[in-house]
Structure 1
Amino acid sequence: MGEISCAGSSTIQIRCNLELCREYVESQQAWSDGGEEHSWTAKETSKDIFATVLTASWYKNRYPQYTIGIALSSTFTLFRWDLSSQSLVITQRGPQFPAMKIDSGKFSYHWWNIELQASYRQARQLPLTRENISHLSSEPTVAQVRRLFENLGLQLPANSSDSDIEDIIRQALHDRNPYE
């Protein structure tokens, strides 16, 4: 849910598209039967995106042998995709909705793999290189997280406070697993 802009320099900034976040929230609320999804906002969705980027960067920094990539798209999907060499897991909205697991030997795994790889290549890939992420400590500070997003060319919303960054850190590294 990113938007790319280039302001007359070699630096490319990606900012979170809050209108697309709003559309995502509205689509989730349309399918929801009430509860916490009706209080969810575009700003919280934006924080969720930044938390995902922080999580991926933190794990890539700690475990460089893993292949971890993040790409931002100007569209959204109602599904979540987790692809590994062993399987593809497709989830939606949380534990109350059944997940689908497709093992790597299955015919449909091959085609979903091609689809997801094509989507990834078409989106804006974030440079999770050592030079961009190696400054992250085991418990990143607000300053380290701001630097990470700057290194990756991600522009935080103008009104992002230190408290917002602390929320992103908590969500990225200390949030509970909704599937447990």
Structure 2
Amino acid sequence: MARLVAWLRGNADGFLALVIAAVVALLGVLDVFGTEQVNAAILLTLALLATTLLRDRWFAARALAQTTAVRLVTGPEVGRVHADAHHETEQWMFKGGTGTYLRAVTLPECVENARRAKRPLRVQVEIIDPADQALCHEYSQYRLSLTPGPDRTGDTWTLDRTRKEAFATILAACWYRQRFTFLKIEVGLSKVMTTFRWDISSSWVIMTQEDPAAPALLFEKGKPHYRAYSRELMASFEQTRQIDVGRARDLQLSDEPSVEEARKLFAVLDLELPGSFTDRDVADIVRRAIQPKNPYW
């Protein structure tokens, strides 16, 4: 009985239209009403049926809108989604491995768009700690398992490359900060490796994997997932070893920083480069920071 009552409550308009149609048909057969009354009853029935259809379409459209709040994209479309997100955003939160795509595409595009629009830009970056040799080794082995040989940049993942990529992201953060007054950038170094890359703009959460062939997930602002993942990245960032990039304010970096400038920068930031890194290695860090290659698309 309870199920019947619930069904009638949810389908009252359609059930009422059915009852009216049946009654009108019966009365028409019995010739109780005249033609005008029957026609009026038919119009009422059609109106109820139209109302039912419109209601069902509204619920269907609402359900579709809720499902499309989470989108699945693959291949070159991932790059296009990133480009759209870079265009109007006033903030960018990143959590990932070493920040290679962040340096190659996200930072330059977001900074250029913000500069053109004369608006401030806030960037939060969380990458693995290059001082943690065990963690960097684990990350390089993970990336090597995905791409055994050279990746799209032409390099193979090794311990040294992993550390250089992370140091390059820190250098790039300071370099861009000096070149755009209204850029506020924060860098945190994590002791935990993640296999996902999280990018959050003012409108979207873009969740990708290190494997460029893997699909990406998009979560629209205004939906519960967007707020939840924003909180996740904020909480995660608070647990990192945060780098005070403001300490490098008085150290002017050239358009193409020299090895000496790079060494001074990391010393000011209290980041010790590995003792095995030669000047050639430091020059490689500078190249990866200022002239990065897009590793994905």
TM bin (shorter chain):
0.7 to 0.9
What is the one-letter code of the residue matched to 2:260?
A
Q: Does 1:22 align with 2:145?
A: no
Measure how far apart 1:35 and its partner are: 2.8
Give the TM-score of the pair, scaled to structure 1: 0.82
Q: Does 1:147 align with 2:270?
A: no
Higher helix share goes to which structure? Answer: 2
Asked if structure 2 preserves the Cα contact closer than 8 Å seen for 1:58 and 1:136, the reply is yes
Return structure 1 stretches of 4+ with deviation > 6 angstroms.
none
Segment of structure 1 superposing worse, 73-82 or 161-170: 73-82
Alignment correspondent of 2:186:
69
Alignment correspondent of 1:176:
293
Q: Secondary structure at the match of 1:116?
A: helix
Identify if the C-alpha distance between structure 1 residues 110 and 16 changes in structure 2 by more than 3 Å, giving closer, same or farther.
Answer: same
Structure 2 residues without counterparts, runs of 5 or longer: 1-127
* Identity in percent: 38
Identify if the C-alpha distance between structure 1 residues 56 and 100 changes in structure 2 by more than 3 Å, giving closer, same or farther.
Answer: farther
**Which residue of 221, 226, 234 corresponds with 1:109?**
226
C-alpha distance in 2 between matches for 1:48 and 1:145: 14
Which structure would you say has the larger RCO, counting Cα contacts within 8 Å and 6 or more residues apart? 1
C-alpha distance in 2 between matches for 1:138 and 1:70: 21
**Which residue of 32, 35, 39 corresponds with 2:149?**
35
Q: CA RMSD in A?
A: 2.0
C-alpha distance in 2 between matches for 1:42 and 1:105: 40
Give the TM-score of the pair, scaled to structure 2: 0.52
Alignment correspondent of 1:11:
none
Alignment correspondent of 1:122:
239
**Which residue of 167, 171, 177 corresponds with 2:284?**
167
Alignment correspondent of 2:248:
132
Measure how far apart 1:33 and its partner are: 5.5
Q: What whole-Å deviation, never above 9, does each CA across 1:79-134 have from its counterpart, x for those lacking one?
A: 222222222222222532333332322210100000100010111111011x4144
What is the one-letter code of the residue matched to 1:35?
G
Number of aligned residue pairs: give it: 166
Structure 1 residues without counterparts, runs of 5 or longer: 3-14
